[in-house]
Amino acid sequence: MTATPKKNSATAVLASNDHQDHHGIKNGIKHVIYCVLYYEIGRAIVMTMIETTKLSAYNDSIRHDVPGLVDEVRRVLGAKLVAYIAGVGETRAVREWAEGERKPSPKAEQTLRLAYRIVRLIEQSEGSGVVAPWFQGMNPRLGDKSPSRVLREEPTEQARAAVLAAANLFVGA
């Protein structure tokens, strides 16, 4: 007959600790999995919201009449910055566009529609106080030029696409 070793109190405590450690590790792993899932779900929701905002901003930039579009961009950016972006030397032209007394050139209208789209995108994502500084600040994605400068000095499709891409990256899209 073989003798079974007696369990003393120290052995019982060690066995209990091993069980608790194993249980704690299992709970820790579960916690990490839940955190990852919540993060991914939250990220998916945010990305969906950004995509919805992008689509809404695009649709509104197409549907808006010129006076309403100019008025909204002027409200957020100010008449001087709008005039600069549109390539005109005076704020009177911006006021006349907003009041429907005068029409911008086709090139200026295209730039204003893009500016409106970006204004809406950034405003809905970051707040209206961020929009003008974004347009005026040096942007590393644009060769350290401001978006407003790129829109004014490089009125090409490639430059417009670069400014829109920089805005999308800024809001996390």
How high is the pLDDT of residue 124?
A: 87
CB proximity list for 6: less than 8 A, separation 6 or greater: none
Q: Is there a domain that residue 95 lies in?
A: yes
CB 40 within 8 A of CB 48: no
Q: Is there a domain that residue 30 lies in?
A: no
How high is the pLDDT of residue 97?
A: 97
Answer whether residue 75 shows pLDDT above 80. Answer: yes
Answer whether residue 151 shows pLDDT above 60. Answer: yes
Tokens of 15: 């066995």
Q: Is there a domain that residue 127 lies in?
A: yes
pLDDT tens, position by position, 7-25: 555 555 545 555 556 566 6
How high is the pLDDT of residue 144?
A: 96
Q: DSSP character for 65?
A: -
Q: Please identify which residue in the block is written with the tokens 């704690």.
A: 24
Q: Is there a domain that residue 5 lies in?
A: no
Q: Is there a domain that residue 132 lies in?
A: yes
Q: What would the mean pLDDT of 23-41 be, rounded to a whole number?
A: 62
Q: Is there a domain that residue 10 lies in?
A: no
Question: For the whole model, what pTM was predicted?
Answer: 0.69
How high is the pLDDT of residue 81?
A: 97
Domain that holds residue 141: 50-170
Q: Is there a domain that residue 88 lies in?
A: yes
Helix ranges, 64-105 (H): 66-77, 79-86, 91-98
Q: Based on the structure, what is the number of domains in the chain?
A: 1
* Nearest Cα residue to 127 out of 35, 38, 53: 53
Q: What would the mean pLDDT of 139-144 be, rounded to a whole number?
A: 96
| pLDDT bucket at 72, cuts 50 / 70 / 90 | very high
Q: Is there a domain that residue 6 lies in?
A: no
Please state, in angstroms and as integers, the Cα–Cα distance from residue 1 to each residue in 4, 138, following that order: 9, 87
